[in-house]
Amino acid sequence: MSTEPKGAGSAHTIVRSPADVLRLVVAAVAFALLLLVELFFGSALVEFTAQLLQGASALPSWLLTGVVIVTRIGVTVVFWVGLVVSLWRRRFRLLLTMVVAVLASTVIYTLVDDALETRRESLVTLNDTVLVVFDEGDYPTAAALAAAIALLTAAAPWLSRRGRRLGWTLVVLLAVSRFLTAPVSFDSPVAFASGWFAGAAVLVAMGAPARRASRDSVMDGLTGVGVDLAELEPAAVDARGSTPYFGTTTDGHRLFVKVLGEDERSADLLFRMYRRVLPRDLGDERPFSSLRRAVEHEALVALAARDAGVRTPRLVAFAACEPASFVLAYEAIEGASWDRFTADELTPDKVTALWELVQILRRHRIAHRDLRLANLFLGADGEVWLIDFGFSELAASDTLLATDLAELLTSMASVVGPEASIAAGYAAVGDDIVEALPRLRSFALSGATRSAVKADPELLPGVERAVRAATGA
C-alpha cells in the first residue's frame, strides 16, 4: 500500500491541517450524538435491531463464515504489511502517531464501555471450527475495532487515495462482521465512533504531513489545460484561503496562480460553521457541494465582474491537480495593494476610480464581500483594480451589498480618515450610503479591517458619524 499521496508536497513538513480540525469536529459531534442515542433509546434500538435483522440467521453459515474469514484475514495481512513497509521506509513519525491513536482509542472506549449494558444474542452463528484461529469468533473485540479505526484515521494523511479506500473498505467490513457475529449491542457503533474521534484528535494534536499540491503538480495541471509554464515560484502576498504563486509562461507572459485544496476547503467550511452559529445575520449562502464547485464559482464571478466593466485581472485557466486541488491562473498585474500606500499616495482621483468600480458591482448586484485594502490594487500604470472574488456572490442580497459599503468605507477610513472616506463614498453612491449604517459593526467586517478598528477605537464611531452627517440620517 502506497504511503505517499500523489502530487503532495514534502512528506517531512508536519502541519496541523484545517481538514483534520474539521474531521475532529464532525467526529466529536457524531460520537456525542451516538452516546446520547444510546443513553436514551439504547434498549429499544437494540431490541428493534435484533428483531429486524434476525432473518440474517437464515443465510448459509458457510457463506457468512467465508465472508468474515476473508475480511479478518485481509485486515490482518494489510496491518502487518503496512507495519513492515513503514519500518522499512523509516516512517517513525507515522508509527508514533498510530501508537498514540491506538492508546487514545483504547482509553476512550474503555471509559464508555461500562454504559453499554443492553445486549442480545448474536444475529448469526458461524462455523467455530473455521473461526478457531480467531479465538472462536471473538476476534476482533470492540476495543480492537476502535483501535483499528483510530489507527487508520491517524495514518490516512500518509496514505495514497487507493490505500485509504482499501483501508476503509476492510475496516467497514470488519465492523459489519463483528456486528453480525457478536451479541447485538451498541458496542460496535460506539467503537467505530470512538476510534474515529481518537484518531482525528491525535492528528490535530500531533500534526501530519502537508497535503498541499506541490509546485510540479501545479505546473502539470496547468500544462494539461494548455498553459505551459517556464517558471512558477511562491508569491509573498496576502492571499487568504489559497496558496499563491507567480508564474511565467514559455512565451513570457506573467501569471498570478492560486491553488485551493482540501485544507482551504475545510478552513472555509469551519469558517462558515462558525459564522452560522453566531446570533447575527451575516448573509452567508449555503456552502458549495464540493471544492470544485467553489473554485468554479470564483472563476464565474471574476468573469462576470470583468464582463460588466470592472477592472480585474483576466482569467487565463482553470485546472485540476493532485492531491485533490484546483488551480486558477490570472494575468499578473504590476503594482501594489492599497494597504502599502499612505493617505497622501491615495489621491482623490484614485479613490474616485475605485468607487466607480464598486458602483459597477452594485449595479449588477455583485457582492465582493472582501473589500479590504489588500484586495484593492493600484497598477504600475496608475489604474485601479479589484482582485480576489473568492468569497463573492452574484445576485447578491441587500445585506451583502450594504456590507460591502460598510467594509469599503471603514477600510478606506483607516488610511484617509472617516471624513475623506465618506465624502468619496457619498459622491459615488449618494444617499444610498446610509445602507451601510446597520453593517458598521465589527462582526460584519473582515479580519484585517477589524484589526484596524481595534487599533483605533474611534475609527468605527467616526465613520458612523460621518455617514449620518453626510446623509442627515
- Summarize pLDDT for 390-413 with one digit per residue, the tens: 999 999 999 999 999 999 999 999
Last residue of a domain, one of 307, 331, 355: 331
Three-state DSSP at 339 gives helix
Residue 8 counted as domain residue? no
| CB neighbour class for 36 (10 Å; exposed up to 12, middle 13-18, buried from 19) | exposed
pLDDT computed for residue 67 by the predictor: 66
Which residues are bridge partners to 209 per DSSP? 14
Residue 7 counted as domain residue? no
Handedness of CA 260, 261, 265, 270 (dihedral sign): negative
Query: Are 40 and 189 in the same domain?
Result: yes
pLDDT computed for residue 131 by the predictor: 45
- Grid cell digits, residue 241: 484561503
Asked whether the predicted pLDDT for residue 72 surpasses 90, the reply is no
Three-state DSSP at 255 gives strand
Last residue of a domain, one of 267, 301, 331: 331
pLDDT computed for residue 50 by the predictor: 62
Mean pLDDT across 415-432: 90
Q: pLDDT tier at 248 (50, 70, 90 boundaries)?
A: very high
Residue 6 counted as domain residue? no
Distance CA 270, CA 21 (A): 8
pLDDT computed for residue 263 by the predictor: 84
Residue 275 counted as domain residue? yes
Mean pLDDT across 82-108: 83
Beta-carbon contacts of residue 7 (< 8 Å; ≥ 6 apart): 213, 214, 216, 217, 220, 321, 322, 323, 325
Distance CA 391, CA 368 (A): 7
Query: Residue 2 in contact with residue 81, Cβ under 8 Å?
Result: no
Q: Which domain holds residue 42?
A: 14-209
pTM to 2 decimals? 0.77
- Owner of C-alpha cell 513570457: 252
Query: Are 367 and 463 in the same domain?
Result: yes
Query: Are 168 and 284 in the same domain?
Result: no
Calculate what percentage of the chain has a pLDDT beyond 70. 84
Query: Residue 171 in contact with residue 152, Cβ under 8 Å?
Result: yes
Q: Where are the alpha helices (DSSP H) in 89-138?
A: 92-113, 128-131
Residue 445 counted as domain residue? yes
